[in-house]
A = this chain, B = another copy of it.
Amino acid sequence: MPQTPSWVKQLKPSGPQGSDLLASERAASNVPVEQLSELLFTKETIQKKNKILATLKSEEMFDKSPNYYAGRYEYFEKSVARAKALRNLKLRENWTLEEYRIACDLISEPLPYSLHEGMFVVTLKDQGTPEQQERFTKPADDYKIIGCYAQTELGHGSNVRGLETTATWNPERKTFTMHSPYLTASKWWIGSLGKMANFACVMAQLIINGKSYGPHPFIVQIRDLKTHEPLENVHVGDIGPKVGYNTMDNGFLLFNNVEVPHISMLARFSEVDPNTSKYVRKADPKLIYGTMTWVRSTIVMQSGSALARGVTIATRYSAIRRQFTDRDEPKAKVETPVLNYSMVQIRLFPLLAATYALHFTGKAMMNLYTRAQETLSKGGASILADLHGSSCALKALSSTIAVEGLEVCRRACGGHGFSSFSGIGNWYGNYLPTVTFEGDNYMLTQQVANYVLKSARAALAGKAAKNETGHILAEYLKKKDIRPSFDITSSNADIVSAFAWRAASLIFDIQNKRDNLKTAWNDLLVDFYRMNKAYAQYMVVVNFYNTLQNTKAAPEIESVLSTLFRLYALHTLDQEASDFTATGACTERQVAVARSTVEQKLLKEIRPHALRLVDAWDFDDYVLDSSLGRHDGKVYEDMFYRASELNPLNRVTVDPYPESPVCFRKVEEAHPKSKL
């Protein structure tokens, strides 16, 4: 690439500089950013994070500057190197598991050991016998064997009972034969399987004496421990490029009658008696289902932070990007930052409010879960059941809000949002599968329907459970004849009640359709989806509200959080207006007032605090890896630097004429290391 000429190096952006604009934005608000960050994350966690951040930044391996340019092949190679380096760093720095996870979060891309660590080892520990722990978990903990969790198949995802891979018990040899009878039986989408794993925890239909006992987990070696080549009769590889997640080797796996020893079947909950060949159930596997609730609550909490990256980037850039002067002030000389436009505010600020709402909701649910487990004896069971239902509903809602919100943020950045340097596109691509995994967001609504139908029947029988859902259903039944009105304009508690009313009403509506009108299940799926949204939105609103009630903070923080609460709730109410009016939770007039409160009042109240509210999310520039979202506002300088200096395509000259068979004319291999 031709050296950047000196006359280019001297150029500055025109007009007020980004740094000055962000500085005056920050000066205009009195929200104490550091205190708010600590309220979100705790001081201790922030300190840990900063220490780990400094370590990562000092390692060349974790320099992010080449990331956006690499093709998948080279990017995955780098990703393997990074996974190894991070594991070695953990040992060198003596990181706890929590600290290791913080490091992964800061790196912000999937690493190919993560399913080994997050699923293979965890499954071994949860479901293995002491003998299996000794045999498998120990070498796995030492990375002598690298594993994955192989459940999903080419032909089956959500319907686990339909899996086609078989594990047939051979009584004479006391072994299992692992087999893939069809192409659709191929394991598919399995993270860390494609290239990394030499072992897999394979979910397969257990067959004893011709009878199927349903899916069970088997620990199977698939690659040679030395050459890492696939073992005989094992066909394994990477499933190819994806919309995102390309630093992960999602893989496929087929068996052709591969025999494995008796110890392969994880036997904490059930086993095949090697002598009698009888299937023996030893414990209830439901015992471990609680962890799924935990995982889902984590997704809810992370959805806030996932979305906050996009909101941070878009808000900072919108404070710098100026476009047109105000139509009603034609004499203004300087163009207006687009963050002043109401059409930009209405897109970004409700999402800003959602980041806080989702974070507090996830956190509250995790606390509730911990407390319920401690008090399982006195009512904890009903709370756990409720947490299961509401965490399914919330997982679906929160990941959808985050995914769709990130795209709104990207588009709010205008043309530059489409550049990889915006930092939103890649992040969106990597976050995107969240709407499909850990329960597809649409499928989950049927599970939620199961739960609320049961709850509604109990409430109608006067036996409403002593949990959140039971409470709102019982309240609804108590008051439905008098049709209460909620003062959504001046009472936050009444806003919560209106959301509860709408959710309860939709729940009883599907209960009526199913139980009294005998509507077919399939004809109710769309109703379930709508009910799920109402139910989950209520959970978010009530958790946000409770957090405000229970939080002691500086008055500036309490005040701005209360505004965010009302913005989130009233904007949602406006978006779902026809639900609220149809269920009698609001009148059409109230909806109109809610809308104008949002548009004419709350957006304006948030405006001066917008920058500080995103700053409180405390994303380092290293984490965001975004030109547009730079903390110092050097947006254009960074865009230009990445395009002009780092872009490998600028180290080649094209022959542009159609007659010439040559396309690229020269390539300098070196990748410049200098940074802005």
Residues on A lying within 8 angstroms of B by beta carbon are 1-2, 4-5, 7-8, 11-15, 68-77, 80-81, 83-84, 87-88, 143-144, 146, 152, 154-159, 162, 164, 180-186, 188-189, 194-198, 227-230, 233, 235, 237-245, 249, 252, 254, 256, 322-324, 326-328, 335, 340-343, 346, 407, 410-411, 414-415, 417-421, 425, 432-433, 435-437, 440, 442, 445, 520-526, 528-529, 577-578, 581-582, 588, 591-592, 599-600, 636-637, 639-640, 642-644, 646-650, 652-658, 660, 663-665
- Which B residues are CB-close (under 8 A) to A77? 663-664
Contact B440 A157 (CB under 8 A): no
Task: Let me know if B73 and A71 touch, CB within 8 A.
Answer: yes
Whole-angstrom CA separation of A38 from B12 in the bound complex:
56
User: Does B644 contact A237, Cβ atoms closer than 8 Å?
Assistant: yes
Taking a contact as CB atoms under 8 Å apart, the answer to whether B2 and A653 are in contact is: no
Known: A237-B1, A418-B436, A419-B239. A183 touches B520 (CB 8 A): no
CA separation between A425 and B341, bound complex, in Å? Answer: 32
* CB atoms of A342 and B523 under 8 A apart: yes
CB pair A237–B643 under 8 Å, yes or no, is: yes
Pairwise interchain contact B162-A80, C-beta atoms closer than 8 A: no
Q: How many copies does the complex hold?
A: 2
Task: Tell whether, in the assembled complex, residue B521 and residue A327 are in contact, meaning their CB atoms are under 8 Å apart.
Answer: yes
Q: Which residues of B contact A87 (CB under 8 A)?
A: 658
In Å, the complex CA distance between A414 and B186 comes to 17
Q: Which residue of B lies closest to A653 (CB)?
A: B228
Q: Tell me, in angstroms, the Cα distance from A340 to B525 when the chains sit together.
A: 11
Q: Is the CB of B421 within 8 A of A240?
A: yes
In this complex, what residue of B is CB-closest to A527?
A: B599
Give the residue name and chain of the B residue nearest to A164 (CB). Answer: B14
| A526 and B185 in contact, given A70-B71, A155-B13, A649-B249 (Cβ under 8 angstroms) | no
Least Cβ distance of A207 to chain B in Å?
16
Known: A80-B654, A522-B340, A577-B578. A241 touches B152 (CB 8 A): no
Q: How far is the CB of A37 from chain B (nearest CB, A)?
A: 30
A162 to B240, CA, bound (A): 45
| Bound CA–CA A197/B581 (angstroms) | 58
CB neighbours of A418 from chain B (8 A):
242-245, 432-433, 436
Q: Find A12's partner among B183, B407, B432, B581 (CB 8 Å cutoff).
A: B183
Contact A155 B197 (CB under 8 A): no
Known: A80-B663, A591-B578. A326 touches B521 (CB 8 A): yes
Q: Which B residues are CB-close (under 8 A) to A72?
A: 69, 71, 649
Q: Establish whether residues B154 and A254, one from each chain, have CB atoms under 8 Å apart when the complex forms.
A: no
The reply to whether A420 and B324 form a contact with Cβ atoms under 8 Å apart is no
Complex interface: chain B residues within 8 A of A238 (CB): 643, 647, 649-650
Bound complex: CA A224 to CA B443 (Å): 59
Tell me the bound Cα distance from A440 to B418 in angstroms. Answer: 13
The one of B14, B185, B600 in contact with A181, judged by C-beta atoms closer than 8 angstroms, is B14
Complex Cα distance A145/B249, Å? Answer: 45
For A240, A322, A526, the residue with the greatest tally of chain B CB atoms inside 10 Å of its CB is A240
Q: Are B71 and A229 in contact (CB under 8 A)?
A: no
Q: How far is the CB of A296 from chain B (nearest CB, A)?
A: 18
Q: Is the CB of A84 within 8 A of B663?
A: yes
